[in-house]
Structure 1
Amino acid sequence: MELPTPESIKKKRVKLGLTQSELAARAHVSQPLIARIESGDVDPRLSTVKSIITALDDMEKSRITAKDLMTAPVISLSPDESVDQAVKIMEKYGFSQVPVLENGVPIGSISESALVQAMGSRDIQRISNARVRELMEDSFPAVAPGTDMGTISALLEANHAVLVMEMGKVVGVITKYNIMRLLNK
C-alpha cells in the first residue's frame, strides 16, 4: 500500500470542494490536524491517514454529477414537426416528454400531458396535424455537466426533465428515471 503525501491529500480535498473543516468532520479528526498534515508539519498515525483517505474516497464516490446521470445523444423535436411525428418518436423511444430544439437551442418541450390535455378540447385529427410549436410547453431547465445530483433532483421535482448543456449546446438529458436507476446499482 502506497501512503498518500500531504500534497496528494490536499489536492484531493480541494478537487472535491471540501474545506479542511468539512474533511475533518468526515474523518472524525480536528481541522488543525488536517492543516498540519497538509502542510507536512506532522507525521500522523496510520489510523488517522486511513480515516482521512476513507472520508475522501467516500466523498468522491458520492459526488454524482449531471454528466454521470445524463442520457446522450438527446432525441429532440423541431417546432415545425407535426404532433403526429412527436407521438411516433415518443412511442418509438418510450418517452413521455421530448425537448424541442431550434437550431440546437432549447425553445420548449412537448409531453404526453400536453397532448392529452389538448385532446380534451380539440378535434383529434386537428391535433395530429398540428405543429409541435402549437402545443409545446416551456423548455426544460438546463444545467452544466458538473452540476451535483442534489440540484438536479430539486429541479426534477418541478419539471419533466433537465437538459445538460455545454458551451451553448445540449449534450444530454436527465429524467426522474435516470435518478431512479441509481437505486439498482
Structure 2
Amino acid sequence: MFNELQEIKHLRKKLGLTQGELAKYAGVSQSLIAKVESDSIDPTFTNAQKIFTSLQQLSEKEEQKAVSVMNKNLIYLEPTDSLRVAIQKMKKYSISQLPVLEQKKAVGVISETAILDALMNNKSADTPLLEVMSEAPPIIDTNASIHVVSHLLKFYPMILVAEKGKLLGLITKADLLQVAYK
C-alpha cells in the first residue's frame, strides 16, 4: 500500500481522476480529498486507508497486461530445423531471435548470437537447432502485468504468452519499448 499522504494528489492525477471521482470511489467526501491534498487536514486512519486502497485498486486496473503488448504473429522454428533455415527466417522477418517449438510446446530459443557462436565453432549450416539452441523462455499468462514482463525481460531475450496452455504470442524488449513510446 502507498504510504505517504503527499502522494495522493500525484497518484490521483497520474490516474487521470478528479478529486470528486476519487472521493466517490473511496467512499469519502471530495472536500476531504481536497483538504488532504492541500495538507490542511490529517485524515483518520480509516479514511486514509480507504483513499490509498482505492488508488492502489485503480492503478492495478489501469496497468497494461501482457496481452496488450504481445506480438500475436508467432513466428517459430522446430528443433530439427537447421541453422540455415533459422538464418533465412530471421532475415525474412528482420528479427534477431525465434522461439523453438516442438508440438506447440516451447523447447528453446535460437538467437543471432547463438548462430554466430555455432558457425564460429565450425558447426555446419545444416546443424539442427537442437544442438545449439538456448533454454526455453518463460511462459506467462495473458493477464500478467507489464511490471512482471519488464522484470523478466531483464533476464530473458523473450517471453512467451499463453492462455490455458495455448501459446498466443511473444514479447521482446523491442515490443515493450514500442508500447512505452507510442
Q: TM-score, normalised by structure 1?
A: 0.69
Q: Which residue of 1 aligns with 2:142?
A: 145
Q: Using the alignment, how far apart are the partners of 1:86 and 1:36 within structure 2?
A: 54
Structure 1, residues 124-150: CA drift from partner, whole Å, max 9, x if none?
Answer: xx2x11111111110111110011111
Q: Which residue of 2 aligns with 1:110?
A: 110
Secondary structure of 2:81's aligned partner: coil
- Aligned residues of 1:20 and 1:34 also touching (Cα < 8 A): no
- Aligned residues of 1:20 and 1:35 also touching (Cα < 8 A): no
Distance 1:179 1:36, change over 3 A: closer
Q: Using the alignment, how far apart are the partners of 2:67 and 2:138 within structure 1?
A: 15
Point out where structure 2 has 5 or more consecutive residues left out of the alignment: 14-18, 38-50
- Aligned residues of 2:2 and 2:56 also touching (Cα < 8 A): no
Structure 1, residues 11-70: CA drift from partner, whole Å, max 9, x if none?
Answer: xxxxxxxx7999x944499xxx77972xxxx7x348959x98xx6897368501100110
CA RMSD of aligned residues (A): 3.5
Q: Which residue of 1 aligns with 2:45?
A: none
Distance 1:47 1:36, change over 3 A: closer
- Percent of pairs with identical residues: 28
Distance 1:36 1:97, change over 3 A: closer
Structure 1, residues 96-141: CA drift from partner, whole Å, max 9, x if none?
Answer: 1100111100011111110111122115xx2x11111111110111
Instruction: Kindly indicate which of the two structures has a greater share of residues assigned to helix.
Output: 1
- Give runs of aligned pairs for residues 160-175 of structure 1, distance below 5 A: 160-175=157-172
Point out where structure 1 has 5 or more consecutive residues left out of the alignment: 1-18
What letter is aligned with 1:173? L
Q: Which residue of 2 aligns with 1:101?
A: 101
- Alignment length, in residue pairs? 153
Q: Which residue of 1 aligns with 2:40?
A: none
Q: Using the alignment, how far apart are the partners of 1:36 and 1:180 within structure 2?
A: 34
- Give runs of aligned pairs for residues 22-171 of structure 1, distance below 5 A: 25=8, 26-27=11-12, 37=27, 44-45=29-30, 59=59, 62-123=62-123, 126=124, 128-171=125-168
